Amino acid sequence: MLGKGASALLNRSDYMHKNIRLLKWLNFFWNFRLYAPIIIIYFAQITGSFASALLIFSIFSIAISVFEIPTGIYSDMIGRKKTLVLGSLVSVISLTCYALGGSFLILALGAIFAGLQESFFSGNNDALLYDSLGETKEQNSFGEHTGKINSVLQLAIGTSALIGGLIAGISFKYVLWLSVIPQVIALIMSFWIIEPKTHFEKMTGNIFANLKEAFVKFQTNFKLRNLSLSSILSFGMGEVANQFMPAFINTVWPVWALGISKGIAKTCSFFSSRSAGKILKRFSSFRVLIVGTLASIGTTILAVVFVGVWSPLLIALTSIPYAITAVALSSLLQAEFSDQQRATMGSINSLFGNIFFAIFAYGFGLVADHFGKTEPIVITEILTLSVVYIYWKLFKNHKKELLAV
């Protein structure tokens, strides 16, 4: 028979696996956002221009930048569950503001709350998963579990996009109000999460000293520094282009079909995310990042330069390499983060990514207003080659490390 200690350990392990299952469902409801295919058009209708619409996204990113570090430190000091619950609550408030709409100010308020929600989740949720796996000594399977959780996320976005696109043909307002319901469900479910035991020292003393130590690690660790830079650049440019893409697709497909394009893209992401763990076991993460990013750049440029009814389908196919490269980059970053400051370091990385997003988004919008919907996308994809160069530098350095062993 098992002793009390062994029995308690098994129970604890079961709780942690429940955490992982809950994270999958939470990611489903958080990302079941019916408005995703039409949000840029919705914002542009209310604000009057693409520049102003993308300014809402810039406010969202600035809000993340303001809240990012405090929420990361909060997660490390207070706990993963409390941080997750607060993020779920703020998500409900944010979507309610978007649904109310009516003016730039109300949308901006919604964007601020959305930024706060994102900052609560950005470093915390990966840290929660990593800590939960640590309870059963399964940290090495982080990439596999991240891929599976991300696949559920993609399924949610794809399914909701298909439904949302059809409802948008009737009313944009209906789409936004119905999007609030899944956030309420996620808020209720977030209370079921079990706080992992800390296998790192609690942050004590001056939080600014701990924050300084995290920045020093970025400065002194070549691999972490370059991975972080590539993450910042790829997020800023990629996310702006992604948010704007429905406006481009709307030039060749009607509004009601925007959800179909998004649905196809997220179906591709679903299957590629689920297979990401297996692919990363067979191939070097750096090879995956280089090949995947180049494939995405080439396909996107082909789709927007040679415009036709096939363009949305080509754009959707870029979700296949994107989902796999996202898992590869996340796994590499988590391996370099310290246990003591895992959420804080994730938040620092996200902080600079969102600052860059905020700056890039408004410039992107100005180019779109003055030159059209194709030019800013092509420029963005060409600039993304800088990320490929960083991956190549890391790949060469990685090969040198292997030869030195």
Per-residue confidence at 300, pLDDT binned at 50, 70, 90?
A: very high
Q: What is the pLDDT of residue 157?
A: 81
Stretch 107-128: mean pLDDT:
86
Query: What are the distances in angstroms from CA 322 to CA 154, 180, 290?
Result: 11, 27, 11
Per-residue confidence at 111, pLDDT binned at 50, 70, 90?
A: very high
Yes or no: say if 196 and 128 are a contact pair by the CB < 8 Å rule: yes
Per-residue confidence at 1, pLDDT binned at 50, 70, 90?
A: very low
Higher pLDDT, 127 or 206: 127
Burial of 200 (0-12, 13-18, 19+ CB in 10 A): middle
Q: What is the pLDDT of residue 403?
A: 61
For residues 255 and 213, what is the distance between their CA atoms, to the nearest angstrom? 49
pLDDT at position 295 over 90: yes
Q: What is the pLDDT of residue 219?
A: 77
Higher pLDDT, 48 or 274: 48
HEC per residue, 117-175: HHHHHHCHHHHHHHHHHHCCCCHHHHHHHHHHHHHHHHHHHHHHHHHHHHHHCCCHHHH
pLDDT at position 198 over 70: no
Yes or no: say if 349 and 276 are a contact pair by the CB < 8 Å rule: no
At the top level of CATH, the class of 11-193+206-404 is mainly alpha
Q: What's the pTM value of the predicted model, to 2 decimals?
A: 0.67
Stretch 212-231: mean pLDDT:
81
Stretch 217-234: mean pLDDT:
84
pLDDT at position 95 over 50: yes
pLDDT at position 154 over 80: no
- The mean predicted confidence, pLDDT, of the chain is 82
For residues 244 and 235, what is the distance between their CA atoms, to the nearest angstrom? 14
For residues 140 and 133, what is the distance between their CA atoms, to the nearest angstrom? 9
pLDDT tens string 44-91: 889 888 888 888 988 988 888 788 777 777 777 777 888 889 999 999
pLDDT at position 137 over 70: no
Which residues make Cβ contacts (< 8 Å) with residue 299, sequence separation at least 6?
A: 314, 315, 317, 318
Per-residue confidence at 214, pLDDT binned at 50, 70, 90?
A: confident
Q: What is the pLDDT of residue 304?
A: 93
Q: What is the pLDDT of residue 343?
A: 64
Give residue for tokens 């949720």.
125
Please list, residue by residue across 322-332, b when 16 or more beta carbons sit within 10 angstroms of its beta carbon and e when fewer do: bbbbbbbbbbb
Give residue for tokens 């939080």.
207
Give which of 229, 383, 246 is closest to 301, Cα–Cα. 383
Per-residue confidence at 345, pLDDT binned at 50, 70, 90?
A: confident
Per-residue confidence at 92, pLDDT binned at 50, 70, 90?
A: very high
